[in-house]
Amino acid sequence: MEISKFQSLMKDLYYANDNRRGIYRTTLWLFEEMGELSHELKKNSVKMDKKAIAEEMADIYAWVASLANLLEIDLNKAILSKYPNKCIKCNHKPCQCQKDL
Ligand SMILES: [Zn+2]
């Protein structure tokens, strides 16, 4: 599914609730999901549950789409502008920037 279609789906499904909740509280939900992802990632590799991690990532993506809808931001356009087909700093693919990781 393309980013724009996903954002549109989130709008169809949740915009009314997102709008009632507002930007501030929707952002809190996003942070909560990020905390849940962090919780899953803190587990050692034996206990790590990739299905749970994937679900938390999907939740984060959904909350970002909700925020974008509330702010009338076209996520697809924003992502392609910010992350074109090459590194925006060194103009290479893959990136060849030398920086601290
Ligand atoms: Zn680079």
| Percent residues over pLDDT 70 in the chain | 100
> Rounded to the nearest whole angstrom, what is the distance from the C-alpha of residue 56 to the centroid of ligand 1?
28
Burial class (CB in 10 A: 0-12, 13-18, 19+), 27: middle
User: Given this model, what pLDDT does residue 101 score?
Assistant: 72
> Rounded to the nearest whole angstrom, what is the distance from the C-alpha of residue 41 to the centroid of ligand 1?
27
pLDDT tens track for 12-41: 999 999 999 999 999 999 999 999 999 999
| CA–CA distance, 83 with 96 (Å, rounded to integer) | 15
Assess if residue 46 is contained within a domain: yes
Alpha helix (H) residue ranges in 44-84: 50-70, 75-82
pTM exceeds cut of 0.85: yes
User: Given this model, what pLDDT does residue 100 score?
Assistant: 72
> Rounded to the nearest whole angstrom, what is the distance from the C-alpha of residue 77 to the centroid of ligand 1?
21
> Rounded to the nearest whole angstrom, what is the distance from the C-alpha of residue 27 to the centroid of ligand 1?
30
Assess if residue 21 is contained within a domain: yes
Q: How many domains does the chain have?
A: 1
Q: Please report, for the chain, how many H helices and E strands are present, in that order.
A: 3, 0
User: Given this model, what pLDDT does residue 73 score?
Assistant: 98
Sign of the Cα torsion 21, 23, 27, 30 reads: positive
Domain span holding position 43? 3-82
Assess if residue 15 is contained within a domain: yes
Q: What is the CATH number of the domain that holds 20?
A: 1.10.287.1080
